[in-house]
Structure 1
Amino acid sequence: MTLHIETPLIASSAMGGKNGQTVWLKMEALQPSGSFKLRGIGHACEEYARRGAKRFISSSGGNAGLAVACAGRQLGVPVVVVAPETTSERARELMRREQAEVFVHGASFTEANALALSMVGERDAFIHPFDDPLLWTGHATMIDEVAHAGVTPDAVVLSVGGGGLMCGVIEGLRRNGWDKVPVIAVETDGADSLAQSIEADTRIELPRIASIATSLGARQVAQAAFDWTHKHPMNSMVVSDQAAVAACIRFMDEHRVVVEPACGASLAVVYAGHPELAGFRNLLVIVCGGVTATVAQLQDWERTLAAS
């Protein structure tokens, strides 16, 4: 029994069909916490509980914090989440609904993370949003499910924030013998720490996040994520906030599922029919989900970005 569920793998007629291409959607937005995060965070929480942790502490204003709260509630372990001031009231309420104690501190993740770390006691476990090998092993199970379904992808499209999803997907690809399957790593302009790191050939830190896709808002990717850019076939792409939001709204219309712009980034390159995707017959897209955006907010962003 795991804390996450096995999610549907859907061949999308709305997104595929061009030049005989099939676009497979791994619907991680349907996880109980609303995003893929529950896979890795659930796995980590189970392991830390097994080691004797009596409380989980996390620093996240979004999907990771909600996943920790969801995992802690199911395991019967108290959860403290330190969220930055930019965290929406909706996100705070969702975490409290899962019985987490929520503290709001600092202008950014950096300050919130520092406070969270200072709170960790001897019997606590700190649950990092993206930089923990336990998380990557948990995230890798989504690729195991694709393999068990009998689908062999020619490429995987996914969004990158801190790089936890990417590390997990690559771990999954490699343990299923798909070492040569390339990853298309997508970010939004203003939250593109991986793309800039690849260009500079060193792990850079963004001075600030200048994108509405706040779930991609890691100013620096995990070291392991950057290391994979030298060891696994990869293509980095950057899309605009406007393209990401438009993709969210189109996806909602076509698939009746609401996702946030961080997820919309990867959907956008598929909708755009990017030339570099044309040669792949079976294209796997990780619909990573996200619960911080509402329909009304997506529509408001669409109007604002169109006017700017």
Structure 2
Amino acid sequence: MHQLTYGDIKAAGDRIAGRVRPVAVAPLDVAGGEVWAALELLQHTGSFKARGAQNFVRAHREAGTLPDAGVTIASGGNAGLACAWAAQEQGVRATVFLPANAPAVKVARLRGYGAEVRLAGREYAEALAACEEFAASSGALASHAYDHPLVAAGAGTLLDEIRRQLPSLDTVVVSVGGGGLFAGVATAAREHGVRTVAVEPEGSQALHAAVAAGRPVDVPVDSVAADALGARRASAAALWAARQDGVRTALVADSEIVRARRLLWEGHRLAVEHAASTALAALTGGAYRPAEGERVCVVLCGANTDPGTLA
């Protein structure tokens, strides 16, 4: 396994500069400390995944390793959107595998980016198996929703952008599914002495299980945020990052995730998906309590949701 380094993240930042939207930060009115939001929900394709996808596709373009068959990925939705967008920019085909229960809004947007969409199984793991079989038979380049160093490095570019606006940042809070965002952000945060808090739903805790077992293991998935945080197994890179100094983990109930999402809508008119409000739920629900004067930034990682569910 390639061990993710800060050098990988710096290289990714150079590679995707000008091709992703720099993250905006804004204060949040929540109890405890000085809390800011990183508005990555405003990113291309509606989530942070655009960073990793752009880094992955451009790195292969630079290396001359983008095949005629294009790229393929299995995704709960957001990584597929990002891969399709990045592939379209480079003029290559994208074939995206999703679980059959993926939100209709994500399926429609994928097709809008020109991707071929294939539905397989009920969970991400089943879509991944179908994707791997397709890659082997077609010659398409297989990307990954989270478990790839180029994808995690692209996600990690977010931390340096946050620090440019909040240079005295103490803590960054991120939600965790398979751990690509967490691994990248934690790697960059460690370089700067910033604490990382990794937040998972109680019903989808692949990282917690990996830490307890000492290795990535399969877990059951049952959470309101499972469409984006539904990985059955955390990446080895995420487990490695979780074991480093300056990293905290937290679990939050679905009820807290739903409440935090509604707070963002009612208090700030931010329509986020449940995966994004999972990070905030650690603060609003008390799973992570900032110290007095602690400067905290919560990553609001995506907005691919049905706004009608906020009415």
TM-score by length of 1: 0.88
Question: For the Cα contact (< 8 Å) 1:154–1:182, is it kept in 2?
Answer: yes
Counterpart selection for 2:253 from 240, 254, 258: 240
Identity %: 30
The corresponding residue for 1:132 is 148
The corresponding residue for 1:165 is 181
Question: For the Cα contact (< 8 Å) 2:146–2:235, is it kept in 1?
Answer: yes
Counterpart selection for 2:94 from 67, 79, 82: 79
Q: 1:15, CA displacement in angstroms? A: 2.3
The corresponding residue for 2:4 is none
Deviates more, 1:235-244 or 1:272-281: 272-281
CA distance in 1, matches of 2:301, 2:263: 16
The corresponding residue for 1:231 is 244
Question: For the Cα contact (< 8 Å) 1:161–1:218, is it kept in 2?
Answer: yes
Q: 1:75 and 1:2, CA in 2 relative to 1: closer, same or farther beyond 3 A?
A: farther
Structure 2 letter corresponding to 1:59: A
Structure 2 letter corresponding to 1:67: A
CA distance in 1, matches of 2:76, 2:151: 18
Structure 2 letter corresponding to 1:169: V
Q: 1:123 and 1:203, CA in 2 relative to 1: closer, same or farther beyond 3 A?
A: closer
Q: 1:152, CA displacement in angstroms? A: 2.5
Structure 1 letter corresponding to 2:100: E
- Count of residues paired in the alignment: 290
The corresponding residue for 1:47 is 59
Q: 1:276, CA displacement in angstroms? A: 3.2
- SS of residue in 1 equivalent to 2:72: strand
Structure 1 letter corresponding to 2:280: L
- SS of residue in 2 equivalent to 1:58: strand
The corresponding residue for 1:182 is 195
- SS of residue in 2 equivalent to 1:172: helix
- SS of residue in 2 equivalent to 1:186: strand
Segments of 5+ residues of structure 2 without an aligned counterpart are: 1-16
The corresponding residue for 2:122 is 107
Counterpart selection for 1:91 from 106, 129, 132: 106
Q: 1:3, CA displacement in angstroms? A: 3.0
CA distance in 2, matches of 1:160, 1:275: 15
CA distance in 2, matches of 1:139, 1:151: 19
The corresponding residue for 2:38 is 26
| RMSD of aligned Cα (Å) | 1.9
Counterpart selection for 2:74 from 59, 63, 74: 59
For the pair 1:154 / 2:170, whether they are aligned, the reply is yes
Structure 1 letter corresponding to 2:142: F
Question: For the Cα contact (< 8 Å) 1:48–1:125, is it kept in 2?
Answer: no
Structure 2 letter corresponding to 1:77: V
CA distance in 1, matches of 2:164, 2:216: 35
Q: 1:253 and 1:98, CA in 2 relative to 1: closer, same or farther beyond 3 A?
A: same
The corresponding residue for 1:304 is none
Q: 1:259, CA displacement in angstroms? A: 0.9
The corresponding residue for 2:14 is none
CA distance in 1, matches of 2:214, 2:143: 29
Question: For the Cα contact (< 8 Å) 1:140–1:169, is it kept in 2?
Answer: yes
CA distance in 2, matches of 1:297, 1:158: 23
Question: For the Cα contact (< 8 Å) 1:186–1:266, is it kept in 2?
Answer: yes
The corresponding residue for 2:299 is 286
CA distance in 1, matches of 2:208, 2:125: 21
Segments of 5+ residues of structure 1 without an aligned counterpart are: 300-308
The corresponding residue for 1:212 is 224
Counterpart selection for 1:194 from 183, 207, 223: 207
CA distance in 2, matches of 1:202, 1:150: 34
CA distance in 1, matches of 2:46, 2:106: 12
Q: 1:298, CA displacement in angstroms? A: 4.6
